[in-house]
């Protein structure tokens, strides 16, 4: 083995492999590995690590979960370490090159329009499933062990969501990984840089552009060397501590949600890709294999963001101009899986309590679920925390509701893993569709 060969992707040895769609100099490292045998490809290695993690967790139980858990934590910490500088440099680079032109306004409009459309479709699927399967009718949740709610800071009302977007202090927002505030600041800074004279504009653009390349190369190194072991540890810890026991009591509820999420992933999104973008969904799934397994094992669209950006640029073939705008914003506010879950979850609670919700109230649920999914942080369990915003809107409050939400939390992790996959996948579809509509070519074409 050559000395330090494992550091090559980090230190900057030229990488071979798929085309880079990166607009300027295309030099950041891709974590993709086309051309290699299947077992050498990173997404397969991660998938195998996941299966081994399940087996190890079931056999080793709590002691193994404790022994390997720190490796999972280390992996998530490494991914989180990159998020703030990556999002800041990515957005400032993208926006300052587009400028405060009609181009930026158009991109913004398309992005928001796409987010609203797919989240709404997800809500409709959620409502359909819960009304069809009716998992809450006659369900006895009193005997199910309830769990403590995680202490996540989330907005309390729709107005709070809007006010939270503007940071009082950018550094405080960055220290708390307050994504909406960071995105807002980055967009405003990018637009401002685009209005400067070349003497001031160019060095700043070069600084952020180089910073972005450095963050992408760092991402590549972490994913390449740490991801399989990190994923193994995360999954082993999960199955070692919870097993599959909790699933029995809330089986029908979990089944209903899985059906809804699957319908959205395998029917709605492929249709949207075909109709709006003329894109081959199977090829898009193939190109997104890595972010999908990463979203599944981390339960966090935020932590998956670096991998999503890498795959959408280097495999799907979208330019940095579009990804830098669509993906960080998408990871934060476009959460189809979460929106579907909010709608279905609230109607499930109403069914358990024997409170029928009419058409008007169901529409209110859809509206607030949309806002709640926008306000939900891109971290594990955020969806379950913001469900209280939606419950409040239809007056479902009190100790019994809290008890049911606690029981739902007992089975939330695997559902959270699945809805995070949907959240990430919808973002990548959006980037591909918007890139095509902006006249980019070669999107999701077989390399
Ligand atoms: N974990 C999800 C995500 O990061 C959010 C949620 O809990 O629904 O996308």
CA dihedral sign, ordered 425, 248, 348, 375: negative
Atom 8, ligand 1: residue with shortest CA distance:
383
Ligand 1 in contact with 303 (CB < 6 A)? no
Distance 273 CA to ligand 1 centre (A): 22
Region for residue 250 given its phi and psi (left: phi exceeds 0; alpha: psi -120 to 50; beta: otherwise): alpha
> How far, in Å, is the centroid of ligand 1 from the Cα of 294?
13
The per-residue pLDDT for 212 is 84
pLDDT at 12: 34
Distance in angstroms (rounded) separating the CA atoms of residues 378 and 419: 11
Q: What is the pLDDT of residue 50?
A: 80
pTM value is: 0.74
Q: For the chain, how far is it from start to end, CA to CA, in angstroms?
A: 30
Residue 299 CA: which ligand 1 atom is closest?
Answer: 1
Residue 91, CB-side half-sphere exposure with 13 Å CA sphere: 29
| pLDDT digit string (tens) for the chain, length 447 residues | 333 333 333 333 333 233 333 333 334 444 444 456 666 667 677 778 888 888 888 888 888 888 888 888 888 788 778 878 887 887 888 778 776 666 778 888 899 899 999 999 999 999 999 999 888 776 665 554 455 555 544 555 667 767 777 889 999 988 987 777 887 898 899 889 988 999 999 999 999 989 988 887 887 788 778 878 888 888 888 778 766 554 555 788 889 999 999 999 999 999 999 999 999 999 999 999 999 999 998 888 988 999 999 999 999 999 988 998 899 888 877 999 999 999 999 999 998 888 888 888 888 899 888 888 876 777 777 787 778 878 888 888 877 787 788 777 767 878 899 999 999 999 999 999 999 999 998 898 865
d(C-alpha 116, C-alpha 100), whole Å: 23
Span from the CA of 171 to the centroid of ligand 1 (angstroms): 24
299 in contact with ligand 1, CB cutoff 6 A? yes
Distance CA 186, CA 313 (A): 20
Residue 412 has a pLDDT of 80
Dist. CA 199–CA 393, nearest whole Å: 52
For 147, the 3-state DSSP assignment is: coil
- CB of 304 sitting under 6 A from ligand 1: no
User: Residue 301: CB within 6 Å of ligand 1?
Assistant: yes
Kindly state if the Cβ of 15 falls inside 6 Å of ligand 1.
Answer: no
Query: Residue 257 Cα, ligand 1 centroid: separation in angstroms?
Result: 14
CA angle 398, 377, 392 (to 5 degrees): 20
Burial environment of residue 9 by CB neighbours within 10 A (0 to 12, 13 to 18, 19 or more): buried
- For helices 251-263 and 412-437, angle between their N-to-C axes, nearest 10 degrees: 10
Cα(326)–Cα(265) distance, integer angstroms:
19
Supply the pLDDT for residue 139: 64
Pocket-testing residue among 344, 382, 389, 427, ligand 1, by greatest number of atoms within 8 A of Cβ? 382
């Amino acid at each position: 083995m050559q000395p330090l060969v494992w550091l090559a992707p980090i230190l900057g040895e030229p990488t071979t492999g798929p085309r880079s769609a990166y607009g300027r100099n295309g030099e950041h490292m891709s974590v993709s590995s086309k051309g290699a045998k299947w077992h050498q490809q990173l997404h397969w290695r991660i998938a195998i690590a996941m299966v081994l993690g399940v087996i190890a967790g079931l056999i080793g139980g709590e002691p193994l979960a404790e022994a390997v858990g720190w490796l999972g934590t280390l992996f998530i910490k490494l991914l989180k370490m990159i998020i703030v500088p990556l999002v800041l440099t990515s957005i400032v680079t993208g926006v300052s090159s587009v400028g405060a032109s009609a181009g930026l306004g158009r991109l913004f409009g398309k992005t928001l329009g796409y987010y609203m459309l797919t989240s709404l479709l997800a809500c409709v699927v959620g409502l359909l499933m819960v009304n069809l399967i009716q998992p809450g009718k006659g369900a006895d949740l009193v005997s199910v062990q309830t769990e403590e709610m995680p202490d996540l800071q989330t907005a309390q009302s729709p107005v709070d969501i809007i006010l939270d977007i503007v940071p009082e202090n950018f550094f405080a927002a960055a220290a708390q990984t307050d994504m909406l505030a960071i995105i807002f600041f980055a967009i405003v800074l990018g637009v401002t840089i685009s209005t400067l004279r070349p003497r001031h504009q160019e060095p700043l653009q070069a600084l952020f552009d180089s910073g972005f390349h450095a963050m992408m190369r760092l991402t590549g190194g972490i994913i390449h060397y740490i991801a399989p072991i990190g994923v193994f540890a995360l999954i082993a810890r999960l199955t070692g501590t919870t097993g599959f026991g909790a699933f029995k009591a809330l089986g029908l509820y979990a089944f209903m949600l899985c059906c809804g999420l699957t319908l959205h992933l395998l029917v709605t999104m492929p249709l949207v890709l075909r109709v709006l973008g003329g894109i081959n969904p199977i090829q898009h799934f193939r190109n997104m294999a890595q972010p999908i397994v990463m979203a599944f094992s981390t339960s966090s669209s935020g932590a998956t963001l670096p991998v999503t950006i890498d795959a959408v640029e280097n495999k799907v073939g979208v330019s940095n101009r579009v990804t830098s705008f669509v993906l960080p914003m998408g990871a934060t506010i476009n959460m189809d899986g979460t929106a579907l879950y909010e709608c279905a979850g609230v109607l499930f609670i109403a069914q358990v309590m024997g409170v029928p919700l009419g058409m008007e109230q169901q529409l209110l649920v859809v509206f607030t679920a949309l806002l709640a999914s926008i306000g939900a942080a891109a971290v594990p369990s955020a969806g379950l925390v913001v469900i209280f915003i939606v419950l409040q809107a239809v007056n479902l409050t009190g100790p019994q509701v809290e008890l049911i939400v606690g029981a739902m939390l007992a089975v939330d992790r695997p559902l959270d893993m699945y809805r995070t996959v949907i959240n990430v996948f919808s973002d990548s579809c959006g980037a591909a569709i918007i890139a095509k509509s902006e006249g980019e070519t070669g999107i999701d074409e077989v390399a």
